[in-house]
Amino acid sequence: MQDIRDIERIAVIGAGLIGSSWAALAMGHGLNVSAYDPAPGAEEKFRHTVERAREQLAALGLANTGQYQFTNDLDEALQGVDFVQENGPENESAKRALLSRLDAELPPEIIIASSTSALLRSTIVADCRNKRRVIVAHPFNPPHLVPLVEIVGEDEAIVDRAAAFYRSLDRRPVVLQREMPGHVANRLASALYREAVYLVEQGVASVAEIDAALCNGPGLRWALMGPHMTYHLGGGEGGIAGYLAHLGPSQVRRWQSLGTPSLDEDVQQRIIEGVAEEAAGRTIAQLEERRDEGLLALLRARKLVSE
C-alpha cells in the first residue's frame, strides 16, 4: 500500500476555482502538480489564480517549491501521479463519468479524491470498478487558505491514508462515518443561512445587520470552537451537562420558532438589494481580496491561540 510520504506529484483534474487553489496548496508544500482542464482559456485563468494564491502562501511562510505542468490531455495529466484531486463541474452524470474514466486509467493504489460539495459518494462512484479507492474530499473555498477537508469513504485504511495526506498539507480532515447530502459543514452553513433568509423574509433586520450580527458575535467564537464546545463554556462550572439541563429547554423552544423561508422573487430581490447596499460599490474581486487578507490574519491568530 502506498505511503503518503511517497506522494510527490498530484493530479488536479478540473482546474477552475477549486482546482487551482488545491494546486497552489500542494505546490506550497513542495509537491509537483499535473493540472488538467479541457476548457479553452483555462490555463491562463489557472496561472493567474495560482500566482495570487502562491503569494498568500508565501506570506504564511510556505516554501512554494513545487512546480506545475498544465495540459488539456487527460491521459498526459495522469502520467506518474501519486494522488488525484478531482474538481470538475458539480454535475452528477459528468462527475460519475469523469471518476469512472480516472478509475479505469489509474493504477489501483492511487487514491482518487473528489471535491464534490453536494453529491453523494455512493452515486458518483457508481460506475467505478475499484470504488474503494475513490473518496470524497470536500474542501472549503479557498482550499489553500481554509483548512477544512471533509472526507467520505468506505475503506478505513484508504480514508486514514487520505487524511494523513491532507494533514501533511496542513489541512484539518474531518472524517464522516456515513455519507450525507452536503456533508457536515455545508449543512451547518445551510441551517444558518435558512434562518438568515427567514429573518430577511420576516423583516426582522436588514441584510447588512443580519450579517453583522453573525460576524461580530458568534462568528468570532466559531473560528476557535464549535457549537458544542461553546455551550460547554456556556454552562459555567457544570459544563455542557449543566448547560443542557439549564438552557436546553430554551434551545428547544427556539428551534420550534426557527423558520423555513420561501426563496420567491420578492425575497430574492430583497436579498440582492440588501447585499448591494452592504457591498457599497465594492466589486467581487475587491471583496475577495478583503476576505483573503482577513483569512490570512485569522489563520495567523489561530496559530497563536493554539500554540
Ligand X SMILES: NC(=O)c1ccc[n+]([C@@H]2O[C@H](COP(=O)([O-])OP(=O)(O)OC[C@H]3O[C@@H](n4cnc5c(N)ncnc54)[C@H](O)[C@@H]3O)[C@@H](O)[C@H]2O)c1
Q: Which residues bind ligand X (CB under 6 A)?
A: 13-19, 37-39, 42, 87-90, 98, 115-117, 138-139, 141
**Shortest Å distance, C-beta 49 to ligand X:** 9
Cβ atoms 15, 23 nearer than 8 A:
yes
* Residue facing ligand X at closest CB distance: 16
Considering the complex, state which of residue 42 and residue 57 has its C-beta at the smaller distance from ligand X: 42
170: left (phi over 0), alpha (psi -120 to 50) or beta: left
Cβ atoms 133, 108 nearer than 8 A:
yes
**Shortest Å distance, C-beta 43 to ligand X:** 10
CA distance 59 to 49: 16
User: What grid cell was written down for 269?
Assistant: 430581490
**Shortest Å distance, C-beta 142 to ligand X:** 8
**Per DSSP, what are the bridge partners of residue 139?**
149
**Shortest Å distance, C-beta 288 to ligand X:** 12
Considering the complex, state which of residue 139 and residue 243 has its C-beta at the smaller distance from ligand X: 139
Largest pairwise CA distance in the chain: 61
**Shortest Å distance, C-beta 94 to ligand X:** 6
Any idea of the CA torsion for 165, 169, 170, 174, to the nearest 10 degrees? -40
Considering the complex, state which of residue 152 and residue 199 has its C-beta at the smaller distance from ligand X: 152
Considering the complex, state which of residue 90 and residue 154 has its C-beta at the smaller distance from ligand X: 90
Any idea of the CA torsion for 26, 30, 31, 33, to the nearest 10 degrees? 70
Which residues neighbour 4 within 8 Å (Cβ) at sequence distance 6 or greater?
161, 164, 165, 168
Considering the complex, state which of residue 81 and residue 199 has its C-beta at the smaller distance from ligand X: 81
Considering the complex, state which of residue 172 and residue 254 has its C-beta at the smaller distance from ligand X: 172
Residues 73-89 as b/e (b if ≥16 CB within 10 A, e otherwise) read ebeebbeebbbbbbbbe
Considering the complex, state which of residue 89 and residue 219 has its C-beta at the smaller distance from ligand X: 89
Q: What values do phi and psi take at 137, rounded to 5? A: -135, 90
**Shortest Å distance, C-beta 24 to ligand X:** 13
**Shortest Å distance, C-beta 68 to ligand X:** 15
